[in-house]
Chains A and B, each alone.
Chain A
């Protein structure tokens, strides 16, 4: 049988902030296309650090070292231009942060404006509608597109940020606890949205919320003290974890 190249693959990925300690230790795993993979683990286990490395966010800060390989469609992103990587890998952060000086319309298109890509009016309109529809925000905001993005509620702002990332048509969408600043209803909206979105984009989501991981992800990673302890089908991991540490975490004993 022909082997399929995974969309994203970590190969002995190590990340360190200081010379002595590693925040992420020799993580090796492959992420399948069009899945939602949840990354779980206690605070400080390196899950956000690992996620951010996929978007080369560490390049923005000094002293962060990333070793090993991270392959995107078989190509090592660590030796690619950050700008090219980030256009193919979108990211949504913990706190919704639409650009406060831009309208809702311009926020969706901000990826293009920031990169100096010119679009025709028709292309712009189409992109805005497509992206806002795919985050189920279109009906709520179609009449106020010229208002500032910061006028929206927290959940709407976060969906706007997802729309902004989707506008660039990324292969992979990274989400760093995207619902932790939101109320349960907004969280539910986003979760339903992610289940829809996995048809078009591969999602990697860091979450503290085990219920959320169970509800939306098909694969799960459990990290502890920088190590990838366990990776597998979410259902299997929740019902029958292999590692003691995973079990302890999932049963709230850690």
Chain B
């Protein structure tokens, strides 16, 4: 009897998760429906108009999709040269040493810093530097946001790829050394090929985080509704346009914002799914 009660409780608790998820998707779809119906799904995704003149409202998601993709891609590019060496340091070169454990603790600590703090740092420290270097007059923009975003995703990419690097069996590494390989050759020709898909998937998951990051990007991207024409220009990401305008928007504009939210949700879910599937597929002998 007691066991039955227990099982029912667990079942109900477990049921809540899919219900919440389904509810979120349902709410997004119903609220976004207006915008899609008014502009058409493809038109909405490919239009770069964002004007709320009464009587001639035009909303399109293209500038924000572009902004999100640009910041994410740049963040990834900035992230790799830092995260990969650290992952190798922790997972191979100094595996199991005190230095490595201190370094990985510090890296993990970075992941725990609230995004608003990163935003403040970016705004008050990085932005003036960007201005002083004459990279862009206003300091904020795609580049500034991407740089901070890169720092934010480094911990995720690093600790996960370090785990995959650690998992490469000693047998293989010793086998390669016994054939006269140097450490660099072992890294390049044994560790990377074997741990490669795992490392790749850790970057996919890092991308998943960068796509939806809101606070930092909103504070640093410049918040203009144009398609960014260079990496130093200002723009808006999908998350930042929503954060900027949801408070004052109603009717069609609100629906358009929610439609952007739905698209962002779908992209992020897809990326995360790809990453998870790849991790599952990574079988290290």
Contacts and interface: CB of A to CB of B under 8 A. Distances in A.
A93 B171 contact: yes
Contacts of A62: 97
A71 B261 CA distance: 71
B231 to A, nearest CB: 36
Interface stretch (A161-169, A193-201, A203-211): A161-169
A90 B175 contact: no
A33 interface: no
Given A100-B194, A114-B185, A150-B285, A90 B179 contact: yes
Contacts of B180: 83-84, 86-87, 111, 114-115, 168
B177 A86 contact: yes
B179 A168 contact: yes
B179 A57 contact: no
B189 A114 contact: yes
Interface residues of B, number: 22
Given A114-B185, A115-B185, A99 B179 contact: no
Nearest to A88: B180
Contacts of A100: 172, 194, 285
A90 B194 CA distance: 23
B179 A116 contact: no
Contacts, number: 74
Contacts of A150: 285
Interface string A50-94: 000001010010100000000000000000001110110011010
B176 interface: yes
A101 interface: yes
Contacts of B177: 57, 60, 82, 86
Given A60-B174, A114-B186, A101 B179 contact: no
Contacts of A164: 175, 179
Interface of A: 55, 57, 60, 62, 82-84, 86-87, 90-91, 93, 95, 97, 99-102, 110-111, 113-116, 150, 161, 164-165, 168
Identify which of B171, B180, B181, B182 gathers the most chain A CB atoms within 10 Å of its CB: B180
A57 B170 CA distance: 12
A102 B172 CA distance: 12
A86 B181 CA distance: 8
25 contacts: A57-B178, A60-B177, A83-B180, A83-B181, A83-B182, A87-B179, A90-B178, A91-B174, A91-B175, A97-B169, A97-B175, A99-B175, A99-B190, A110-B176, A110-B179, A111-B179, A111-B180, A113-B189, A114-B179, A114-B180, A114-B181, A115-B181, A115-B185, A116-B185, A165-B178
A233 to B, nearest CB: 29
Given A101-B194, A150-B285, A95 B171 contact: yes
Q: Is the interface of B mostly helix, strand, loop or mixed?
A: helix
Interface of B: 97, 169, 171-182, 185-186, 189-190, 193-194, 196, 285
B279 to A, nearest CB: 17
A168 B97 CA distance: 33
A37 B245 CA distance: 80
Contacts of A101: 193-194, 196
A60 B194 CA distance: 20
B174 A93 contact: yes
Identify which of A87, A97, A102 gathers the most chain B CB atoms within 10 Å of its CB: A97
Given A93-B171, A97-B172, A100-B285, A86 B178 contact: yes
B88 to A, nearest CB: 15
A165 B179 contact: yes
Given A97-B169, A99-B172, A91 B178 contact: yes
